[in-house]
Amino acid sequence: MGAHRSPGARPPERGSAVADFVMVGGLMAVLALAVIQLTLVLHVRNVLVDAAASGARYGSLADRTPQDAQQRARELIAGAVGADYAGDVRVGEAEVAGVRSLEVRVVAPIPVVGLIGPSGAMEVAGHAPLP
């Protein structure tokens, strides 16, 4: 004999905890992966900005050339996030706030899934005053 229920009482909800756990767990996993991916995108962007600025500062030294700036930026990027992100590094002169500057511009992919993403979608630049 089973437990007696009063008339009009709801039947017990069997298995609803498992279904709730699966739905909430899946949502939390997707949310966690999205946060991790956003963190990776910001990390890659910060590495590119830093490498461009460091390359520009290095190339603006008295005994260095723009090609040295380009090579320095490529080395920094390749060492931090991989050579795929160091493929398009351009160096030129620019005027920033009325000051003649060396500009290092990096065009790289945005990492969409891990470090894989559409190429040429993110562009950053670093500047350093020229003597």
The C-alpha angle with vertex 37 and arms to 76 and 126, in degrees rounded to 5, equals 35
Lowest-pLDDT choice from 6-15, 47-56, 71-80: 6-15
Lowest-pLDDT choice from 3-17, 37-51, 104-118: 3-17
**pLDDT tens track for 91-116:** 999 999 999 999 999 999 998 887 77
How high is the pLDDT of residue 112? 85
Domain residue spans of the chain: 20-129
**pLDDT tens track for 15-38:** 677 888 889 999 999 999 999 999
| Pairing of β 88-96 and β 99-108 | antiparallel
Question: Is 69 strand, coil or helix?
Answer: helix
